Amino acid sequence: MRRLAVLAAVLALAACGGDDDDQALVVFAASSLSGVADEIDPDAQVVFGGSNDLAAQIRDGADAGVFLSASATPLTELRAKGLVEAPVVFASNRLVIIVPAKNAADITHIVDLTKTGVKLVLGAEGVPIGDYARESLELAGLGAALENVVSLEEDVKGVVGKVALGEADAGIVYATDVATAGDDVLSFPISDHFQPKIRYYAAIVSPGSGAAERYLDGLMGAEGEAALRGAGFLPPPP
Amino acid sequence: MDTLNLTLDHALRSFRLSLELELGRETLALVGPSGAGKSSVLRAIAGLIRPEQGKVTFGAAAWFDSDAGVDLPPERRSVGLVFQEYALFPHLDVRRNVAFGGRGRVDELLERFRISHLAGARPGDLSGGERQRVALARALARDPAVLLLDEPLSALDAHTRGVVRGELAELLAELRLPTLLVTHDFEDAAALADRVGVIVEGRILQLGAAAELLAAPADGFVASFTGANLLHGTAQPGPDGLTEVVLDTGGSAFSTDQAEGRVGLAVYPWEVALARTESADSAVNHVRGDVRSLVTLGNRVRVRVGPLTAEVTAASAERLALAEGERVVASFKATATRLVPLG
Amino acid sequence: MSRLFAILLGAALVIAIVFLALPVLAIFLRVPPGDLVAQLGEERARDALLISLKTSLIAHVFILAVGTPAAYLLANRSFRGRTLVVSLIELPLVLPPAVAGLGLFAAFGRSGLLGSELSALGVEIPFTQVAVVLAICFVASPFYVRSAIAAFEGIDPTLPAAARTLGAGPFRVFARVALPLALGGLGAGSTLAFARGLGEFGATIMFAGSLPGRTQTAPLAIYAAFDEDFDVALALGALLVVISAALLLAVKLVPSWTRSTSPSTTLFAPSASR
């Protein structure tokens, strides 16, 4: 009996843990940043996901140090609730059309997305890639393409996945996602006129965390820039 | 007249079932110890098991013929099978159970078996005897050509058994259907059937009227199965044309049967008389021994004396003041002593 | 020492109850019932519920129609490879839903095994309600078939035998004897399968995608609403809890005529191999 009590006490103490600086930094990053966000700080633990999904987790109390979002929207609520520090823009991206390698529907241009019977996959409302894609279609005056949507994914990886499988005819994703999809997809550019202003934001979630500050510095500094450029991200728009 | 003819050759778990039977408008009982293959015979006739080899015909109709590749499914054979535990459908009431085999005669059968008042009851609410009547009614609703009864009395308690046995005997006599019943109790068989067949390890040892089996059991097994005392001994010709048997348990006994060498000596308990002293009556065989046990069965008492079991009236037992440990003399006549081959 | 044991047992039970009940209760406590109902009136929530109920019911009809005879056959016949067949049927139970989704694509997708045949017939399955129904069938049917096999196996074998000696052919034996006697276990399995189908997520989101008004079932809607409109998510979640609880109660109350099978044993009874 006594031994049990002692054991329990030791476990409880261990669980209480030390302060933040002793633990590894947790970074919540938009999925499109995979390959980059984990390069900045090798010791950091990076969690990838849809930006709005990650924001919801932070809202519910997830223990993140830094949040890297693919757009401003997910940060609005967090900022209003004082859950994050002031966000800074650190990168931009371009939208492209991806199609399965076979491209049976013969899609090469954004206009082709309005062809009857095309199976289009986009991000869902509230998911940055979804909002950006819809903005792009609006800019091109191709709102009709939305009739062709067969699935709204919560994550850009979902869009890539469906197209890569060959089940969807086309999807709109970030240019940086094409490389990861490899030979299963072909990509076609979207004209500058139809590109929305894509801004990636970084915000510190736990104030006073030295590791978080260092991470942000790394991201904004020469190293981070090199990593972002290397992965195909564009510099922050003016 | 339609007769059921049966030839079977089928491997069971530890022996081969191998027999031939002819069943006319009579009741035939197959008796034997559990596991002798009796139920398998019924199932083969009903078509629930497929014998390796054999023939089952009823009149001109072939129900099963292994050589000709004929194997009618049970629903196409005109049989009524009453299972040991009755197999009444628990989700149907009595009326629907009986009607399952055929709706035409339901009311008539319910009345005949005196279960009309139970028509709406569920099998779970009935007593053992009532369930048996429902099972019989149900089997007969189909107007079967052959009736098969699997241990019809064994699911009943001792008291109900006696009553039901009498009723069943009456019913069978009334129906005059070719009926085959199996049981492990020779007395039940004797009470219900016209002919009795003793079946052991898949073979019929003896087939005949119950009285025949009692009077002339074919071998030691039949003798002890029909309730006889069976003693072992060595036979040799004796005085006065009798055979003398030197008993393994000691002493000798005499029999009017002729035999030599190793034999089984069979004498039925009810043919053994008890006395305090050896008296000079016509009984030639006397065995002295201590009373080992007394079991009262109604107005009879079974008394175990030495190696023998005797059955006497309760009144006699009282008169003789029989009690355990008392020395008595058991006597039986040479004419009642059967000599049977030992298996 | 035995008193301590009794206390530990009791504590374990209390912990289990609290752990299992708390998330469920929390759903109802976060949103006032009035708001709950109001949220349900919202178009997206209504669409999601309708799609869920419609696809679940259609899937269920198939599951019952195909699963019942299949289970009956498996329960009554032993044949070489029976164990393999039963294992195949139970496979979706242990398959991660996403893998199930991939498998469905691989079989019924455009570039799948049956892809060209289906296209030739003008049938395209992915991203349609048919896909939702297929996904539900795939994940939910093992629950039913397993229970059904156990239910049929639990029938006293002398009863069908008696039925046959009474003149009933194989179909009549099935319909008048086996089915009524297995009904308790069949009902329990059916309820479990329906509940599982109603909550199906992984395979559906992969194979059918998620489009409000077409393929977005209630669980998918909850997932989508989770990030943006938490109250709608809660309302849908609460409703699914109520439906599931009602189904569970229904299982407990279904009468059973079989002697030894009670709903709780057949729900999870493994099928015996003969």
- For C127, nearest residue in chain A (alpha carbons): A150
Please tell me the distance from the alpha carbon of residue C104 to that of residue C111, in angstroms, as a whole number. 11
Any C CB within 8 A of B197 CB: no
Backbone angles phi, psi at B315, to 5 degrees: -60, -45
CA-based nearest distance B316→chain C, Å: 48
What's the per-residue H, E or C state across C184-226?
HHHHHHHHHHHHHHHCCCHHHHHHCCCCCCCCCCHHHHHHHHH
Any B CB within 8 A of C159 CB: yes
Q: What is the pLDDT of residues B154-170, one digit of tens each?
A: 888 878 888 888 889 99
Structure ipTM over 0.90, yes or no: no
Query: Residue A97 in contact with residue A188, Cβ under 8 Å?
Result: yes
Which of C158, C159, C166, C183 should one mutate to test binding to chain B, selecting the residue with the greatest count of B CBs within 10 A? C166
Query: Residue B245 in contact with residue B281, Cβ under 8 Å?
Result: no
- For C204, nearest residue in chain A (alpha carbons): A151
Q: Which chains touch B (3 or more CB pairs under 8 A)?
A: C
> What are the residues whose beta carbons fall under 8 Å from the beta carbon of B46, sequence distance 6 or more?
B74, B77, B79, B81, B148, C165
pTM, two decimals, is: 0.79
Q: What is the pLDDT of residues B202-254, one digit of tens each?
A: 899 999 998 888 888 888 888 888 888 888 999 999 888 899 999 988 888 99
Contact (CB<8Å) A119/C127: yes
pLDDT in tens, chain B (343 residues): 689 999 999 998 888 999 999 999 999 999 988 877 889 999 999 999 999 999 999 998 999 999 999 999 999 999 999 999 999 999 999 999 999 988 888 999 999 999 999 999 999 999 988 999 999 999 999 999 999 999 998 888 878 888 888 889 999 999 989 999 999 888 899 989 999 999 988 899 999 998 888 888 888 888 888 888 888 999 999 888 899 999 988 888 999 989 889 998 889 999 999 988 877 777 788 888 889 988 888 788 899 988 889 999 988 888 888 888 889 999 999 998 988 887 6
Task: Out of A56, A153, A165, name the one closest to residue C226 (CB).
Answer: A56
Contact (CB<8Å) A165/C111: yes
Adjacency order of strands within the sheet including B61-65:
B16-23, B4-11, B53-58, B61-65, B70-71
Contact (CB<8Å) C166/B91: no
**C43-76 and C218-228 helices, crossing angle to 10°:** 140
> What are the residues whose beta carbons fall under 8 Å from the beta carbon of A108, sequence distance 6 or more?
A188
Structure tokens at B210: 């119950």
Helix residue ranges per DSSP H, B57-157: 94-99, 106-112, 128-141
Residue A78: Cβ-neighbour burial (10 angstroms; 0-12, 13-18, 19+) = buried
Which of C165, C186, C260, C261 should one mutate to test binding to chain B, selecting the residue with the greatest count of B CBs within 10 A? C165
Q: Do chains B and C touch (3 or more CB pairs under 8 A)?
A: yes
Q: Do chains C and A touch (3 or more CB pairs under 8 A)?
A: yes
pLDDT in tens, chain A (238 residues): 566 665 666 665 555 544 445 567 899 999 889 888 888 888 889 999 888 889 988 988 888 899 999 999 889 888 888 888 889 999 999 999 999 998 988 999 999 999 998 999 999 988 899 999 999 999 999 999 999 999 999 888 889 989 998 889 999 999 998 888 888 899 999 999 999 999 999 999 878 788 888 888 888 888 888 889 988 899 887 7
Any A CB within 8 A of C209 CB: yes
Any C CB within 8 A of A165 CB: yes
Any A CB within 8 A of C217 CB: no
Any C CB within 8 A of B124 CB: no
Any B CB within 8 A of C171 CB: no
Any A CB within 8 A of C110 CB: yes
Task: Out of B79, B85, B89, name the one closest to residue C165 (CB).
Answer: B79
Please tell me the distance from the alpha carbon of residue B132 to that of residue B114, in angstroms, as a whole number. 12
Contact (CB<8Å) A151/C211: yes
Backbone angles phi, psi at B293, to 5 degrees: -160, 160
Q: What is the pLDDT of residues B95-107, one digit of tens each?
A: 999 999 888 889 9
Which of A151, A153, A157 should one mutate to test binding to chain C, selecting the residue with the greatest count of C CBs within 10 A? A151
Chain C residues closer than 8 Å to A126 by CB: 227-228
